[in-house]
Amino acid sequence: MSAPDVAEKLTSLAKRRGFVFPSSEIYGGAGATWDFGPLGVELKNNVKRAWWRDMVQLREDIVGLDGAILMHPKVWEASGHVENFTDPLVECGNCRKRYRLDELPDGERLTEAWRAKTLDLASTACPNCGQKKLSEPRRFNLMFKTFVGPVEDTASVAWLRPETAQSIFVDFENVQQSSRKRIPFGIAQIGKAFRNEITPGNFIFRSREFEQMEMQYFTRPEDAPRVFEEWKARRREWHASLGIPAERLRFRDHAADERAHYAAAATDIQFEFPFGWQEMEGIHNRTDYDLRRHSEFSGKDLSYRDDVTNEKFIPYVVETSVGADRATYAFLCAAYDEEPDKEGVRVVLRLHRALAPYKVAVLPLSKNERLTPLAREVWAAVRPHAMSTYDETQAIGRRYRRQDEIGTPLCVTVDFDSLEDRAVTIRDRDSMAQVRVPIAELVPALQERLGA
Ligand code: GAP
């Protein structure tokens, strides 16, 4: 099975089984925005829950925040996004197709030449029409602009946030004082972000509306390089702990001339997607850039005073930032598997049990009026303890395959013997091993297997 095949098969499975649909599909789609269907919302919520648990609930030094999407427009001037959050955009004079410079063939070299102000595109052909009529790159700001209130003038401009991080900086003092945290400590947030990407694509990998899971860790300036290394390791471990094979994860350090305007050091955690190695998460040493700029632009001093030493300083920030949609896609790619079986091919999503949309499927052996009441009774007993589903249509083998394909780790089968012995069979997705357990002991038996 080739890698591009996996991408294609996943896109089709995602639609067919209710993970992800193109947004506004009946109108022809809305341009790189996606809707998460019944299974997709469970999966993405599980990804977010796993992140929140690891980054907030299990830590004594990190607290959460849920900031507003619409913020004062000065926030984006202070943050540097109005001036710097741009991509170089090239347009073909013949077919009018637009590209990000780095997407053209040999894009890395072209981008380097552009940064060095030595770029010449005269001999570069448009990948679409083949004509050598590409324009000089112009800077294109990726933020979506809107207006607050009824008047569309410069005084009412608002931006849809392109990252969640800024409300963490703007609320730094409120959070620090209300939670009485002392440096070092972190603030974590999950929320929507919007970017008017020139060339979105690769399914949910790059879209115009997505969710970020970001954490800003406030440190003493001298500690930031060490903290940066610690977070790199910890975040890579998190992805691996949820089922991404170690050999499909790697770091890519950014050179000085490619870092975001706020970063003194930056590393991507890359995942080997079916279309190649790509950024899944960014770790940045943002220095005191953001707090200093917000102090300057708002007139509010965001320095921190150590109440023991009485020192006053602007903290440095180490940021971890991962897309919830992009990570969800990576988990799907890593989980997708096919193996030969007597009916042809068994498709299995080997999702980590913490991420699987359904943990348990309850299946009567057949749709039979004697089995249904007991099977539904079993499902009712399981439901409060594990996200579960029930399926009684078609042959049992087919139904196992349907659950394998959406990653359900455990199936519980109610058969005719169950009516006599009050026992059911638990079937494991990965090994397909089956074990018989009394209904009275089913819930703890499932919990043990699910690690709940
Ligand atoms: N606050 C830092 C920041 O936003 P970034 O590297 O631009 O840094 C962080 O974005 C993460 O957000 C990326 O690693 C990716 O997972 C996700 N992300 C960024 N742009 C995205 C897009 N257009 N679609 C989906 N996810 C995106």
Q: How far is the CA of 325 from the centre of ligand 1 (A)?
A: 10
Taking the C-alpha atoms of residue 12 and residue 18, their distance in angstroms, rounded to an integer, is 10
Going by CA atoms, what residue is nearest to atom 26 of ligand 1? 323
160 and 35 in contact (C-beta within 8 Å)?
no
Query: Whole-prediction pTM value?
Result: 0.94
What pLDDT is recorded for position 10? 96
Q: Is the previous residue joined to 73 through a cis bond, with omega within 30 degrees of 0?
A: no
Q: Is there an atom of ligand 1 within 6 Å of 87 CB? A: no
The band of 228, judged by pLDDT with boundaries at 50, 70 and 90, is very high
Q: Give the whole-number percent of the chain exceeding pLDDT 70.
A: 99
Q: Give the whole-number percent of the chain exceeding pLDDT 90.
A: 90
Q: Is there an atom of ligand 1 within 6 Å of 280 CB? A: yes
Residue among 326, 328, 329, 331 whose CB has most ligand 1 atoms within 8 A, to mutate = 326
145: alpha, beta or left, given left = phi > 0 and alpha = psi -120 to 50?
Answer: beta
SS3 label, residue 275: coil
| Burial of residue 14, with CB atoms counted within 10 A of its CB: 0-12 exposed, 13-18 middle, 19 or more buried | buried
Structural tokens at position 164: 């969640």
Count how many Cα atoms sit within 13 Å of the Cα of residue 421 in the half-sphere of its side chain. Answer: 12
370 and 398 in contact (C-beta within 8 Å)?
no
Atom number, ligand 1, closest to the C-alpha of residue 212: 12
Q: What is the pLDDT of residues 304-335, one digit of tens each?
A: 999 889 999 999 999 999 999 999 999 999 99
What pLDDT is recorded for position 257? 80
Question: For the chain, what is the mean pLDDT?
Answer: 95
Q: Are strands 138-141 and 98-100 parallel, antiparallel or unpaired?
A: unpaired
Q: Is there an atom of ligand 1 within 6 Å of 212 CB? A: yes
Identify which of 193, 187, 178, 285 has the alpha carbon closest to the alpha carbon of residue 231. Answer: 285
Q: How far is the CA of 360 from the centre of ligand 1 (A)?
A: 33
Taking the C-alpha atoms of residue 134 and residue 99, their distance in angstroms, rounded to an integer, is 10
Q: Is there an atom of ligand 1 within 6 Å of 279 CB? A: yes
Q: What is the pLDDT of residues 170-193, one digit of tens each?
A: 999 999 999 999 999 999 999 999
Identify which of 181, 193, 191, 189 has the alpha carbon closest to the alpha carbon of residue 218. Answer: 181
What pLDDT is recorded for position 115? 85
Q: How far is the CA of 192 from the centre of ligand 1 (A)?
A: 11
Q: Is there an atom of ligand 1 within 6 Å of 272 CB? A: no
Contact residues for 436 (Cβ-Cβ < 8 A; gap 6+): 423, 424, 425, 426
> What is the crossing angle of helices 38-52 and 324-335, to 10°?
110
Q: What is the pLDDT of residues 32-56, one digit of tens each?
A: 999 999 999 999 999 999 999 999 9
Which domains occur in the chain, in start order?
3-79+147-332 (3.30.930.10), 86-141 (no CATH), 358-450 (3.40.50.800)
Q: What is the pLDDT of residues 69-127, one digit of tens each?
A: 999 999 999 999 999 999 999 999 999 999 999 889 999 899 889 988 899 999 999 99
Average pLDDT value for residue range 239-247: 97
Residue among 279, 287, 318, 331 whose CB has most ligand 1 atoms within 8 A, to mutate = 279
Going by CA atoms, what residue is nearest to atom 15 of ligand 1? 323
Structural tokens at position 293: 């700029």
Q: Is there an atom of ligand 1 within 6 Å of 163 CB? A: yes
Q: Is there an atom of ligand 1 within 6 Å of 348 CB? A: no
Q: How many helices (H) and strands (E) does the chain have?
A: 14, 23
What pLDDT is recorded for position 1? 64
Give 219-230 as a DSSP string.
Answer: E-GGGHHHHHHH
pLDDT over 80 (residue 3): no
Of 39-53, 78-92, 147-161, 253-267, the least confident:
253-267
Structural tokens at position 185: 């400590």
Q: What is the pLDDT of residues 347-373, one digit of tens each?
A: 999 999 999 999 999 999 999 999 999
| Burial of residue 305, with CB atoms counted within 10 A of its CB: 0-12 exposed, 13-18 middle, 19 or more buried | exposed
Q: How far is the CA of 322 from the centre of ligand 1 (A)?
A: 6
Structural tokens at position 296: 């300057």
CA torsion angle 237 243 248 253 (round to 10): -30
Going by CA atoms, what residue is nearest to atom 24 of ligand 1? 206
Give 391-412 as a DSSP string.
Answer: --SS-HHHHHHHHHHTT--EEE
Q: How far is the CA of 2 from the centre of ligand 1 (A)?
A: 27
Could you give phi then psi for residue 286, rounded to 5 degrees? -90, 10
Chain centre distance of CA 52:
12
